[in-house]
Amino acid sequence: MNKIILAALFVMGTALQAGAYELPSSTGTHRVRFEADAAGFNEYTRAIDLEGNVRLEELSADGKQQKLIRANSLTVSMASRTVAAPSDFVMDDDTGTVYGKSGFFDYGNNSGLINEGRFLHKNFIFRGRSVRFDKDGYMYKKASLTSCDEDPPHYRLRASRIFLAPERYFLAYNTVFFIGRIPVFYFPVIYKPIGGGTPFVSSFFPGYDERNGFFVKSNYVYRVNPETRVKAYLDYFARRGIGMGGELDYRRPEKNISNISLYRIREYGRGTDRWGINGGYWHSFNRFNESDPAQYYSQSFFRLLSDPSFNNDFFRTNPFAISPDKQASLAFTRKTNYTVSRLSVTGRDERSAADPEKFRRSYESAPRLDFNTVPFSVLRLPVLNSFAGYFENVREVGLPYYQKKGRGAWTVSKTVPLSRRVILSPSVFYDQSVFLSTSSSVGDSWIGRYGGNFNLRYDKFWGSLDLRYSYTRRLRENKPHDDTRAADNGQETDSVYGDLFIMPRHNAYFRARTSYDLRTFKTASFVDRMAPLIAEVYYAPRPSLDLYAEDSYSFSSGNRSFVAQATAGGKETYVGAGVANYSTDEKAWVISNTFGFRPWRTSKWRAEAVLRYRLVPSGVFKFESFRFFEKALTLYRDFHDFRTRWDFRVRSGGVKEFFFFVNLKMNDPVRYDTLEEKSRKFWHPWRQEGAARD
């Protein structure tokens, strides 16, 4: 249909075909332009009625489109600078698309009202019986929210009100979660950032555990800012009670890297809480004054438990956390261009053999001072000097009192290139240890050691060969003489070493190392003087296949250990096999198999399985004993709106559990979360990618 300039309306005042027309701006910074099949202008009310294929654009001062409204009919008031939509319309801007049954817009102050509104933003669909908006955001009343694009949706959150700040967050009040038409649970408030970084994520793990009974674990993760993330845990165990905890991550690599997680539960029938606290930090301090070039920082690591079995009862994914010991350390460090000084406090407790439900102190150092230097020269001599030492107040296992002891070593070294491929690195040292008695029945003890090392390295493009000689002689206690009265004649070390490293290609290497003991006080055969030969080989013929093996062989007593691992496949489809044998249990072989697969090629299910077992062979396909000590199966399935995971696990120590994990796709991060990934690798390397807790 042909269109003409709307200026004719000012003369005729009747319905005409309408072309593009720009209204005067209320602020002088932007304007409105529209097109329609027909228009009518009332010169008394200064209102324009637009009919048929209406397009109304709001433009910025530089002509960029800010909003586009499409409808069958609109009424534009030039006097009040408003637009009324009496019937269905669609509004687009840079935050998303709004659908409405009717509406009213004030383009002067960017506000309005939409009836029966539906807003598409990111991967979310917001609905409201009535929607008011302004420059800050949208307020939905009698609202609902979903990320399902089916009609009707598979799930939705129904809320009395939802406030949406586009590109920033939404806040929903008095919400009920529905699957289809079935209400599942109620939340008073839900808050979720949707601009960048990790969103607010709520996850639920229903399951069953032979020890704890039926349980529901829930996680709530919130990204406070690009540097900080917090998590809250709320769990229910039918046989044990309610457990609560949380985790805090903070990461500014130039200033502070911190993580702390805690959990507590008072089990039914117990008068005290069971708890665990894990984490640590690294913090860099500011300089004390401008003339001080030193760097000052502090660091700590701790794993504290109420009892040795706590982690194995409640946090089973972590292969390190379930170890029955606790420890803590705190250190302050001063670093200059030449020295490093470190003041620390350390404690470690192990499971008590007398009472497995309690700890016993195995080591405590409070405090310990370490001092090290970088290599430096003295009087311009052509050698390098270095010093490393410590002094500590320590209590060791079995002792009820503290000891004061220390050690320091001064080393003089030099690198001598003999040719392009051959380098000689000789060094000599003096080592002094001291024990200051804290008991009247024991005197102070000063023991010196001296010796040297000579390393000859041959370097080629395919690898290197190191031949080294090491010698250490001990002095008598409190005497400057060799300790010839001792059983070892004061000869602590007198050995030659060989280390061969071959790397013919970037994806393969071979290494072998051993040593030979030359000490004269020993009356031993050649094979007894030889240290075990340790050989390892690695080969990755293609990106989807890794092969590794290591063997330790004693020339006097035979094989000490053998470990091998092979992994083939990709991230989702793979197979892995590991085998180990040790001289402490030489008849037994420990085997670990891992699998990742789909039951059939087009299956929407994906599985991961772990089998770990100990077997003692007694012939071909015959076994004296065969025992599984861990069996686990994990199933994954993505539905239209959900990501799900089922875990089955049976392990030594009474672990028999099953749990189910479900996560809405609306909780997926909108972009790669570097804080989550770096924190996982730094503090929790055993966690699977995307896992919210151990």
What is the rounded (10 degree) CA torsion for 303, 688, 187, 659? -90
The stretch 173-197 carries a mean pLDDT of: 76
Give the C-alpha distances (Å, rounded to integers) separating 313 from 316, 324, 648, 651.
7, 11, 15, 12
Written as six digits, the tokens of 254 are: 């130039």
Q: Domains in the chain: how many in total?
A: 3
Phi and psi based region of residue 379 (left: phi greater than 0; alpha: psi -120 to 50; beta: remaining): left
The pLDDT assigned to 9 comes to 30
The pLDDT assigned to 123 comes to 76
Judge whether 124 lies within some domain: yes
Question: Are 293 and 338 found together in one domain?
Answer: yes
Question: Are 444 and 365 found together in one domain?
Answer: no
Judge whether 386 lies within some domain: yes
- The distance between the two most distant Cα atoms of the chain, rounded to a whole number of Å, is 125
pLDDT at 27 over 70: no
Give the C-alpha distances (Å, rounded to integers) separating 676 from 196, 222, 415.
13, 11, 44
Judge whether 356 lies within some domain: yes
Report pLDDT digits (tens) over 289-321: 777 888 999 999 998 999 988 887 887 666 555
Written as six digits, the tokens of 184 are: 């599942």
The pLDDT assigned to 200 comes to 63
Judge whether 510 lies within some domain: yes
- What pTM, to 2 d.p., does this model score? 0.68
Question: Are 451 and 384 found together in one domain?
Answer: no
The residue with tokens 């069971």 is 274
**Three-state DSSP class for residue 402:** coil
Least confident window among 243-247, 506-510, 651-655: 651-655
CB 70 within 8 A of CB 83: no
Nearest partner of 515 among 527, 533, 528, 500, judged by Cα: 533
pLDDT at 17 over 50: no
Band of the pLDDT at 280, cuts 50, 70, 90?
Answer: very high
Question: Are 73 and 120 found together in one domain?
Answer: yes
pLDDT at 20 over 90: no
The pLDDT assigned to 197 comes to 46
Judge whether 462 lies within some domain: yes
The residue with tokens 């129904």 is 158
**CATH, residue 90:** 2.60.450.10
The stretch 408-426 carries a mean pLDDT of: 95
The stretch 604-620 carries a mean pLDDT of: 89
Report pLDDT digits (tens) over 35-79: 888 888 877 778 888 888 888 888 777 777 778 889 889 888 877
Question: What range does the domain containing 286 cover?
Answer: 273-414
Least confident window among 239-253, 443-457, 589-603, 620-634: 620-634
pLDDT at 370 over 80: yes
pLDDT at 548 over 70: yes
Judge whether 464 lies within some domain: yes
Give the C-alpha distances (Å, rounded to integers) separating 330 from 389, 456, 559.
19, 40, 41
**What CA–CA distance (Å, rounded) separates 576 from 561?**
20
The pLDDT assigned to 613 comes to 92
The residue with tokens 């005067």 is 24
Question: Are 346 and 464 found together in one domain?
Answer: no
Question: Are 385 and 482 found together in one domain?
Answer: no
The stretch 267-281 carries a mean pLDDT of: 91
Question: Are 396 and 518 found together in one domain?
Answer: no
Question: Are 26 and 136 found together in one domain?
Answer: yes
The residue with tokens 């029938």 is 269
Q: Output the average pLDDT for the chain.
A: 85
The pLDDT assigned to 317 comes to 61
H or E element in which residue 373 lies? strand 359-373
Question: Are 395 and 517 found together in one domain?
Answer: no
- Tally of CB atoms within 10 A around 46: 12
**What CA–CA distance (Å, rounded) separates 313 from 404?**
39
Question: Are 41 and 167 found together in one domain?
Answer: yes
The pLDDT assigned to 16 comes to 39
* Bridging pattern class, strands 155-165 and 422-436: unpaired
The residue among 495, 529, 563 that closes a domain is 529
Question: Are 455 and 379 found together in one domain?
Answer: no
Judge whether 57 lies within some domain: yes
Question: Are 397 and 341 found together in one domain?
Answer: yes
The pLDDT assigned to 690 comes to 61
Band of the pLDDT at 195, cuts 50, 70, 90?
Answer: low
Higher-confidence residue of 194 and 15: namely 194
The residue among 480, 507, 529 that closes a domain is 529
**What CA–CA distance (Å, rounded) separates 574 from 687?**
19
The pLDDT assigned to 689 comes to 67
Give the C-alpha distances (Å, rounded to integers) separating 119 from 90, 137, 264, 452, 572.
10, 12, 42, 77, 36
Dihedral of CA 352/355/357/361: which sign? Answer: negative
The residue with tokens 């290599």 is 375
Written as six digits, the tokens of 368 are: 């310990």
Report pLDDT digits (tens) over 567-600: 999 888 999 999 999 998 888 999 999 999 998 8
Report pLDDT digits (tens) over 132-159: 988 888 999 999 988 887 888 888 889 9
DSSP H helical ranges for 499-617: 526-529
- Tally of CB atoms within 10 A around 249: 26
Judge whether 593 lies within some domain: no
Written as six digits, the tokens of 557 are: 């007593």
